[in-house]
Amino acid sequence: MPLNRSLTRPQRPARLQSGKLRWISALLLASVALAAVGAGAWWWKQRQDAAAAASAGGAATGPNAARKPGSGPGRFGGGNVQPVSVGTVQRGDVRVVVSAIGTMSARATAVVRAKVGGELTSVRFKEGDEVRAGQVLAEIDARSYQAALSQAQGTLQRDQALLKNAQLDLKRYQDLLARDSIASQQVDTQAALVRQLEGTVASDQAQVDAARLQLSYTQVTAPFAGRLGLRQADRGNVVGPSDANGIVTINQVRPIDAAFSVPEAHLPQMRRRMAAGEELSVELWDRDSRRQLAKGRVVALDNAIDSATGTIKVKAAFANEDGALYPNQFVNVRLQVNLLQGVLTVPATAVQNSYVYLVQEDSTVTQRRIRVGVTDGDRVSVEGELREGEQVVTDGIDRLREGAKVAVIDAGAVTRADQAAQDQAAQRRAFMASLPADVREKLQKMSPEERRAFLRERRAQMGASGAAAPASAASAAASSASGVGAPAAAPASAPQASAAPQQQRSEAPPRAAAPQASPGAAPPAAPAAPADRSSEPPRGIPPQVKALLDQMPADERARVMAMPQEERRAYIRERLQQQPPSQGGAASPAR
């Protein structure tokens, strides 16, 4: 019994100790919770104070109130100086231009067909050529038509001979009749025969002319000057007047016309100017309205207004001397219906909701209300409190308010800087595209510092020699990726240091060979680099490392590239030491 009591007594202090630990843990947790609650209350109070201060500041600096001198910079001016671009208020002539969409149409169009039937023996034009009026385009087999002409000519000659004989007989009969040696009836009969033969000869002459005309039709000619289309019949085909497609289509494009529609509201003004003999000028622009194609004039108005659209069709003529306009071509038309002289104009980009921002002498801006007129190109006519020579804001209007401070910048400089950045990006893309695929892949694996160093070196090589060999680019990328370009300076200097002594040794008598080093001895040190470093190659891969990488098989080279930097350096240093002197010269191990 005492033994059992002695064994169970130590359990009461253990329970008491565990209870104390629980109380201590509970107290610690409670204190942490209280601290968290206090911190949260403090944070909430600070946030409420900040919100109240912000609302009070916002009420004091509303959109219509002036910002306090001590207030911080805002989006709409205040303490900030806003960079803007400006344009000048100018006085000049403004054209009242009506814009429309037009379609080009040829002045004349014809389908060239054969006028006689026969085999097409030759085609004497090229598709798309411009030809002269009367130029021979094709030829048809003319043998049958030549034979018909010869036959008609023979008949004509026969009848002409008969007529001549009849005329001689009539003359003899008339002489005999004068001597009363022949009956008058016989003379009258002979005279009738002569008139009959004269009619026969005239008919024969017409047959000859018809046969000659048919023969001339065997040469197909251009009806007027114009541009030819695609060939519809090839040599060897039998063509005729009834062919639907003909041989080729020709369009007269010099001059050429444009048809477009304008609102009927401009019709009285257009008729008044045309009746007075004034010329209504018309400009043609390309699909994007960026390049002017031609200038012409209005030549005709339609005789009726389209009731569905309230427009009237107008035809304008253009010289088209360069042949740039084609039938059925889509064009943007600008018709000048009037000219306003001596009005104020501002850049179109300066106008915003009938307001402009005027730059004052103290580099602040003020709003001026204007009445917008007509737009001519990139300028618009205005009426308002503006004077010629004043400057209005054209770029940066969305950041301004009344009285805001501005700094005028050159819009051309911004455009040039943007263009220069785009050109530089294009050159960078072209340079990357010119690199081999393996070099680009290695560049992606390089660190930013290694990539910048490689690109600088590559550009320097291209600037010095004009172009670099693909093998050099691949080796340079391998050097930059492996990190041996900078640490291997000693091997790079070794062949340079020994280049001159090699030439001296070739001229001097041979010396005694150096004793071989013991197997356990350290490798011989590389000769010191000469003081003159002008003969050193540019920063990059040493020749020994390049030659070593070129001699490696592809799998070994890939395995070397995958090694960590220090391990890769040690491996290349060991391989350089193993090379015989005849391959690498007095190569020193890479450092």
CA neighbor of 266 nearest in space, from 331, 200, 337, 325:
337
- 472 pLDDT higher than 70: no
Query: At CA 16, angle to CA 14 and CA 21, rounded to 5?
Result: 95
Strand order in the sheet with 219-221: 219-221, 136-140, 118-123, 238-239
Output the 3-class SS for 561-579. Answer: HHCCHHHHHHHHHHHHHHC
Residue for token pair 């509970």 = 26
| Amino acid at the residue 149 | L
Task: Report the distance separating Cα 409 and Cα 98, nearest Å.
Answer: 34
Pairing type for strands 365-376 and 379-384 reads antiparallel
Task: Report the distance separating Cα 49 and Cα 58, nearest Å.
Answer: 14
Task: Report the distance separating Cα 404 and Cα 401, nearest Å.
Answer: 6
Looking at residues 257-279, what average pLDDT do you find? 92
Query: At CA 431, angle to CA 428 and CA 434, rounded to 5?
Result: 150
Dihedral sign (CA 390, 394, 396, 401): positive
CA neighbor of 54 nearest in space, from 79, 30, 42, 71:
71
358 burial via Cβ count (<10 Å: 0-12, 13-18, 19+): buried
Top-confidence range, 329-333, 559-563, 587-591: 329-333
Buried b (16+ CB within 10 A) or exposed e, 65-86: eebeeeeeeeeebbeeebebbb
Task: Report the distance separating Cα 477 and Cα 473, nearest Å.
Answer: 6
Kindly report the length of the chain: 591
Report the range of poorest mean pLDDT among 157-166, 390-399, 463-472, 513-522. Answer: 513-522
Residue for token pair 């949260």 = 40
Looking at residue 508, the DSSP 8-state letter turns out to be: S
Three-state SS at 517: coil
Pairing type for strands 226-228 and 219-221 reads unpaired
Q: Into which CATH architecture does domain 251-337 fall?
A: Beta Barrel (2.40)
pLDDT, one tens digit per residue, over 141-160 is 999 999 999 999 999 999 99
- 259 pLDDT higher than 90: yes
190 contacts 169 by C-beta, under 8 angstroms: yes
Question: For residue 402, which phi and psi values (nearest 5 degrees)?
Answer: -60, 125
- 508 pLDDT higher than 50: no
pLDDT at 117: 93
Written as six digits, the tokens of 539 are 């920063």
- 202 pLDDT higher than 50: yes
Residue for token pair 């500041």 = 57
- 411 pLDDT higher than 60: yes
Q: How many CB atoms lie within 10 A of CB 556?
A: 13
pLDDT tier for residue 4 given thresholds of 50, 70 and 90: very low
Written as six digits, the tokens of 510 are 């041979």
Residues pairing with 158 in the sheet:
none
| Amino acid at the residue 264 | E
Report how far Cα 127 is from the mean position of its chain's Cα atoms: 29
- 447 pLDDT higher than 70: yes
CATH 1.10.287 residue ranges for the chain: 142-217
- 61 pLDDT higher than 50: no
- 385 pLDDT higher than 80: yes
Contacts of 237 (CB under 8 A, 6+ apart): 119, 120
135 burial via Cβ count (<10 Å: 0-12, 13-18, 19+): middle
Written as six digits, the tokens of 270 are 């257009």
Contacts of 4 (CB under 8 A, 6+ apart): none
- 334 pLDDT higher than 60: yes
Three-state SS at 248: strand
CATH for 142-217, options being 1.20.120, 1.10.287, 1.10.3300, 1.20.1250: 1.10.287
CATH 2.40.30.170 residue ranges for the chain: 251-337
pLDDT at 527: 40
Q: How many CB atoms lie within 10 A of CB 563?
A: 14
Pairing type for strands 292-306 and 311-318 reads antiparallel
pLDDT at 34: 75
